[in-house]
Amino acid sequence: MRHHLGARLPKFSVEESKTLNGSIDFIGINHYSSLYAKDCINSPCPTGESHAFLGFVYTTGFRDGVAIGEPTPMPRFFIVPDGLEKMDLLNQTNLQVREKIY
């Protein structure tokens, strides 16, 4: 990651890294819309965009010409009510939910 993003990533001392390792107090997720994502490091992506700036990910609201959800007046936003649920985030991580998720 440092090879691709360089100075934009923070640097931590060995002691700071030990302190941070395995620690999380709170994770907040704001979910406004869903998009399909494609890895641009290991897969071919359209040219002309700054994939390094975007985390080497190509995002689009369409797959095989079909929209991911209902279009909105903003071209990059779609109405996808179950988009966050389809990610199945909690089952793919070791997160333990101690409070209700709204």
Q: Comparing 98 with 41, which gets the higher pLDDT?
A: 41
Return the domain boundaries, the chain: 1-100
Q: What number is the average pLDDT over the span 70-93?
A: 79
- The backbone torsions φ and ψ at residue 38, rounded to the nearest 5 degrees and listed phi first, read -130, 135
DSSP string, 13-65: -HHHHHHHTT--S----------EEEETTTS---SSS-TTTTTSEEEESEETT
Q: What is the pLDDT of residue 64?
A: 92
pLDDT at 50 over 70: no
pTM: 0.54
Q: What number is the average pLDDT over the span 36-61?
A: 76
- The backbone torsions φ and ψ at residue 32, rounded to the nearest 5 degrees and listed phi first, read -105, -30
